[in-house]
Amino acid sequence: MEFILEKVTSKDLDAILKLGETVNEEHVVPLLDAEGQQAIRSALKSDIEQVIDTKVYSAVKAVIGNEIIGYIAWRQGNYIGQLYVKTEYHGFGVAKRLVEEMKNRCGERLIRVKASIYALGFYGRVGFKPVSEELSINGIRYVPMELNVDLYPSNKTHRDR
């Protein structure tokens, strides 16, 4: 599957907000109790709206034609705050390429994420290791994970715009 990687811009806000909400509702929310469902829904929109603030986040989108099929947003240099790929594109390497691109762009040796219960398998497959057991904040379940970039170097053969 061919797609390009580009920097997220302010004109992408509506599309990434819809993408994040849709994927979250389908895959993450069902794994949470009522408290967690409410908490993640209220936190998600405000967090996604910050993606276009370059003082807070760096973000890259995966695009086919004019359609954003996924994006990754990171803050504090090495913390993945958001990684969403449209469900119909799961299993095609989009999320993996987005993580690779983030690794290439951020230049950090250690990448951190609070992986949702739904995403644990993916993060494990791309080299992230849990740093603790499952935790919960306001009913939102996650596992803190880290990727040592020196152990899993990026494939720098991909090109983007």
Domain of residue 104, CATH code: 3.40.630.30
CA angle 90, 112, 114 (to 5 degrees): 65
Give the number of other CB atoms < 10 A from CB of residue 57.
Answer: 20
CA-nearest of 23, 10, 22 to 51 is 10
In a domain, 148, yes or no: no
Examine the pLDDT at 34 and tell me if it is beyond 50. Answer: yes
In a domain, 91, yes or no: yes
In a domain, 143, yes or no: no
49-68 pLDDT, tens digit per residue, is: 899 899 999 999 999 999 99
In a domain, 33, yes or no: yes
In a domain, 150, yes or no: no
In a domain, 140, yes or no: no
The total domain count for the chain is 1
CA R_g for the chain:
15
Examine the pLDDT at 157 and tell me if it is beyond 50. Answer: no
Domain assignment of residue 18, given as a range: 4-108
In a domain, 141, yes or no: no
Overall average pLDDT of the 85-90 stretch? 97
